[in-house]
Amino acid sequence: MPVHRLNHVVLYVRDVAVSRAFYEEVLGFRQVMGDGVGASFLQAPGSNNDHDLGIFAVGSTAGDSAAGRSTVGMYHVAWEVNTLAELSVIRDLLVARGSLVGASNHGTTKALYAMDPDGLEFEVSWIVPAHLVDERALRERSTVSRLDLEGEMAYFGADTRGGLGISIPLGVEL
């Protein structure tokens, strides 16, 4: 049987309250379970999952993750937004918090990269809907370039629903 989708991610963090506040304020998650001190289970807006993110405290003396530098480990998790306008709002929140570390145009995916309070990297992306994948998107997909979010909103429309026919099957009720 094939895997159909990502259900949740679990992170070990120094301070659950700090991390919970970050994910709530920047990505709109809400706590659905947990004491908010030792553990917290968060659900993304619009999600039907029991939870999308679990965070567990390991204490303030925990070292930084060395994944990708000197140890194996996961590089990042990617969250998807519905519109480029939503991506723009998140970009502004990440910039205000000093968390944005990159913004890339992958042709068919427009992505922001950020660090949470513990330095764990994540991606927030908008996926070009299948009916708008054109020669420009396919050409840009072969390279990674700096994301011009305002230019992409002008090209695709700020409120165009992303992912249709790609990450969201056609015919699915939204």
For 22-57, b/e burial (b = at least 16 CB within 10 A) is bbeebbbbebeebeeeeebbbbbeebeeebbbbbeb
pLDDT (0 to 100) of residue 27: 95
pLDDT at 113: 97
Q: What is the mean pLDDT of each run of 10 residues along the chain (174 residues)?
A: 84 97 96 94 93 96 91 92 97 98 96 96 96 88 92 97 87 63
What is the architecture of the domain spanning 74-169?
A: Roll (3.10)
Quote the CA–CA distance of 3 and 24 in Å, as a whole number: 28
Sequence-distant (6+) residues with CB within 8 A of 119 are 64, 65
Q: Reduced to 3 states, what is the DSSP secondary structure of residue 155?
A: helix
What would the CATH number be for the domain defined by 7-59? 3.10.180.10
pLDDT of residue 137: 86
Radius of gyration of the chain (CA): 17
pLDDT attached to residue 136: 86
Please state, in angstroms and rounded to a whole number, the distance separating the CA atoms of residues 11 and 39.
10
pLDDT value at residue 36: 84
Question: Strand pairing of 39-43 and 30-33?
Answer: antiparallel
Say if CB 127 and CB 94 are below 8 A apart.
no
With a CB cutoff of 8 Å and minimum separation 6, the contacts of 25 are 93
Delimiting residues of CATH 3.10.180.10 domain(s) in the chain: 7-59
For residue 165, the model assigns a pLDDT of: 87
